[in-house]
Amino acid sequence: MPLELADAIATPDGPEQEYLWTLNFGPQHPATHTTLRLILTLDGETIVKAVPDIGYLHSGFEKLGEHLDYNQYVTIVDRKNYISPVANEIAWFAAVEKLMDIQLTPRCQYIRVIFNELMRIHDHLLCCGAAALDLGGFTAFLYAFNQKEKIYDICERASGQRFHPSFLRVGGLLRDVDETWIDMVRAFVRDFPKAWNDIVRLLNRNRIFIERTKDIGVLSKEEATNLSCTGPIARASGVVRDLRKDEPYLAYKDFDFKVICAREGDCFARYLVRMDEMLESCKIIHQAIENLPSGPVNVDADSKVVMPNQLSVYRSIEGLIHHFELIMTNRQWHTPVDEVYAAIESPNGELGYYLIADGSGVAYRTRTRPPSFIHFATFPYMIVGHQVSDVVAVLGSLNIIAAELDR
């Protein structure tokens, strides 16, 4: 992309427009967190026009999905939204399992719910912490990271990797969780509200934080729907829509929680929605961990979609055959030749996969519906008329993850 900015923007000619000037923002800029680039047209300090330029992290995720089988692709899916990796896995397997018509076991559903909510807390912590950091509040960021590290530990305990767990498999999980993991989650649920309170006490009545976020980047309800917003951003604008309630997937029917909404649609409302959602997530985790059903985490091995356990591979001929069938690249899963769209409520909004299967073990096409991508498209609408320093506030409240944005 040439850095000749002038022709990237169609500034209307004419003498009355001549005082406008152009500012390049990014792609390597601390406040963009990752690799976003904005070309701003300014009138003094006021933004007249903003043109986002993305693709600085485009790495061909969707093309890779056409070359890796359903289980292998989980490692790539993880890296899409790296703030909430397991939520991505849940969305991917929601599509795969819908395609193959697999009913998960109750224990697996509960564990997935717990992970989904942990990821929601994780994502919102980073979003709120980093937003505070960008606006000058370093302490909130440190508090948030402290809690984040605890979630990392929980992921590490379950799967062995703290950052990209790759914990899910078709029809179940990599392995069952153990007692220590359950205790860790219990401890987290117990301690989290206190840490949450610390962050709230730092920010909610903080004059600087409020002045810099209130009435900044307002998105009305109609606009939010028209621009395809979902998740916390739409809810902060008053759209009452949460896939956990509207189209309950996994075991969300069993839990008691509220959908947090706000009316204002500005950065502060988005921050408040995120903060309150964390507590609701904490409530869900609490209910799930106390009622965790016993039983297997994988569906029955006879269904020929999950890997048989190691013992049966070594000790029985059926197990060996199952394993062989799933591993050999010319056998694997027998899927219907059809296409399916499945979506979940990820921390960032509706995260969907449109999966086209051609009957083999490798997807023919994996299309992600990336919430970050769609939310970043709203940015030009939000920022016009505000000051340059508000760019940071709005970006922070949108929670753009570059890897999901560019894929």
* Least distance CB 117 / another protein (angstroms): 20
Q: Closer to another protein at the Cβ: 234 or 284?
A: 234
Name which position in 131, 279, 398, 402 contacts another protein (CB under 8 A).
402
Name which position in 43, 45, 149, 318 contacts another protein (CB under 8 A).
149
Question: Interface with another protein includes 103 (CB under 8 A)?
Answer: no
CB under 8 A: which stretch of 208-216, 290-298, 368-376, 382-390 binds another protein? 368-376
Q: Of 153-212, which residues contact another protein (CB under 8 A)?
A: 162-164
Nearby residues of 227 by Cβ (< 8 Å), 6 or more positions away: 219, 374, 377, 378, 381
Question: Interface with another protein includes 136 (CB under 8 A)?
Answer: no
Name which position in 202, 227, 320, 384 contacts another protein (CB under 8 A).
227
* Least distance CB 235 / another protein (angstroms): 12
Q: Of 233-292, which residues contact another protein (CB under 8 A)?
A: 239, 241, 246-247
Sign for the CA dihedral angle at 240, 244, 249, 255 comes to negative
CB under 8 A: which stretch of 61-69, 169-177, 262-270, 286-294 binds another protein? 61-69
366: β partners: 355
Strands 349-357 and 172-173, how do they pair?
Answer: unpaired
Number of Cβ within a 10 Å radius of residue 220:
14
Q: What type of residue sits at position 93?
A: F
* Least distance CB 76 / another protein (angstroms): 6
Nearby residues of 233 by Cβ (< 8 Å), 6 or more positions away: 219, 224, 270, 349, 375, 378, 398
**Residues 322-351 vs another protein: string with x where CB under 8 A?**
--------------xxxxxx-x------x-
Question: Interface with another protein includes 44 (CB under 8 A)?
Answer: no
Question: Interface with another protein includes 33 (CB under 8 A)?
Answer: yes
DSSP 299: P
Question: Interface with another protein includes 29 (CB under 8 A)?
Answer: yes
Closest CA to 89 of 19, 158, 11: 158
Question: Interface with another protein includes 225 (CB under 8 A)?
Answer: yes
**Maximal C-alpha separation, the chain:** 84
Determine the Cα–Cα distance for residues 167 and 352; give it in Å rounded to an integer: 19
Strands (E), 300-371: 339-346, 349-357, 363-369
Nearby residues of 270 by Cβ (< 8 Å), 6 or more positions away: 232, 233, 236, 262, 397, 398
Nearby residues of 398 by Cβ (< 8 Å), 6 or more positions away: 233, 270, 372, 375, 376, 378, 379
Name which position in 172, 231, 238, 352 contacts another protein (CB under 8 A).
352
How big is the site for another protein, counted in residues (CB under 8 A)? 78
Question: Interface with another protein includes 399 (CB under 8 A)?
Answer: no
Question: Interface with another protein includes 358 (CB under 8 A)?
Answer: yes
Distance of CA 27 to the CA centre of its chain: 22
Q: What are phi and psi of 3, to 5 degrees?
A: -90, 15
Q: Closer to another protein at the Cβ: 107 or 120?
A: 120
Name which position in 9, 48, 98, 220 contacts another protein (CB under 8 A).
98
Question: Interface with another protein includes 6 (CB under 8 A)?
Answer: no
Q: Closer to another protein at the Cβ: 75 or 206?
A: 75
Name which position in 5, 102, 195, 377 contacts another protein (CB under 8 A).
377
Question: Interface with another protein includes 384 (CB under 8 A)?
Answer: no
Q: Closer to another protein at the Cβ: 70 or 268?
A: 70
Strands 168-169 and 172-173, how do they pair?
Answer: antiparallel
